[in-house]
Amino acid sequence: MHDVLKRGRPVAPAGAATPPRPAGLRKRWLAAGVLAVLVALVAGVSLGPVSLPPGSVAIELLNLLPGVSLDSGLTEREIAIVTELRLPRAVLGLLVGGLLALAGGAYQGVFRNPLADPYLLGVAAGAGLAVTVVLTLGVGAGGALSGLPVTIPLAAFVGSLGAVAMTYLLGSAGGRSRSPATLILAGVAVSAFLSAGQTYLLQRNAESIQQVYSWLLGRLATAGWQDVRLVLPYFLLTSLIILLHRRELDVLSVGDDEAASLGLHPQRSRYLLIAAASLGTAAAVSASGLIGFVGIIVPHTVRMLAGASYRVILPLSLLFGGAFLALTDVVARTAAAPQEIPIGVVTALLGGPFFVVVLRSARRVLT
């Protein structure tokens, strides 16, 4: 039993199926995740209304490193497109996607529910309602997202924590015998309630409808590096907390009584991880609007391919989640060019069928 705490994952009972994958395989997946991030970064900067050679873009990105000065062959105008327009957007996609995927994996471990996700738990809806309140009431510098470096993330964090608390309390109404599906149903109910409040606010403040509506559909449009600087501190703090406590999620998976017997404080760990995941979700929502299903698609794909331990799932979700959203943004920008599809629409088109697959695979847990 001491191996549970030492290794950060539950010991397979006698007669169980295959043992956990070896650590060497995890290193290869980690390298694959870093490669995916680099490919997504180059693709996000290269592709657009003005296509740029990926090789030249890669060289220009290397030139951003201290002491590197190579000839990329790009003109000054093209270099400005790379460094001032597309690179901030691609980096923001990496940060937001990583946060959403990491939060989704953390919620799944905390609630021991394969369907937990910031979008389905109502967390994103709570953050969205709070930001809508800020935008419609004009709190701060003129109601612009870029003009509210403190107000919007703070409001989104408060809204997300309130929503996850409502979902958890509503899902706990059935007692300890409740099924994991109860939490998802509670999240749907909370999301509907919060969305109704959001609709009411928009009807009372018609002048804000266009701004809020475009934000609700999800977007990664930036005004430069300002949005990246806004999200980066939250990204670093959220990632640090969740990744440092990822072993505890494996211990929590064996049950609170077993975890407590191993010296872990289940409720304290759970609350800390919920707060960190909600902070990351709030930062992502405040910067990019409501983008659903990233927290479902990425962690489950990692779980199916690389292993079920949260020591593996969470770091890889951070990397592959960023790469996934950055590449999805490329699709949103180029599929209907010169018009741009809201990125939330693209992730919903991908996530809907994927959610059905996850639901079918989890049917034994939900019955």
Judged on CB neighbours under 10 Å (0-12, 13-18, 19+), 12 is: exposed
pTM for the whole structure: 0.83
Please provide the CATH number assigned to the domain covering 91-366.
Answer: 1.10.3470.10
**Residue 130 predicted with pLDDT over 50:** yes
**200-242: pLDDT as tens digits:** 888 887 776 776 777 777 777 765 788 888 889 999 999 999 9
Most confident of 113-117, 153-157, 301-305: 301-305
User: pLDDT tier at 179 (50, 70, 90 boundaries)?
Assistant: low
Among residues 42, 44, 47, 37, the alpha carbon closest in space to that of 60 is found at 42
Q: What is 268-307 written as a DSSP string?
A: HHHHHHHHHHHHHHHHHHHHH----SHHHHHHHHHHHHH-
Please give the pLDDT value at position 88: 93
Please give the pLDDT value at position 344: 86
Q: How far apart are the first and last CA of the chain?
A: 29
Tokens of 330: 């490329």
**Residue 6 predicted with pLDDT over 70:** no
Domain boundaries, the chain: 91-366
**Residue 14 predicted with pLDDT over 70:** no
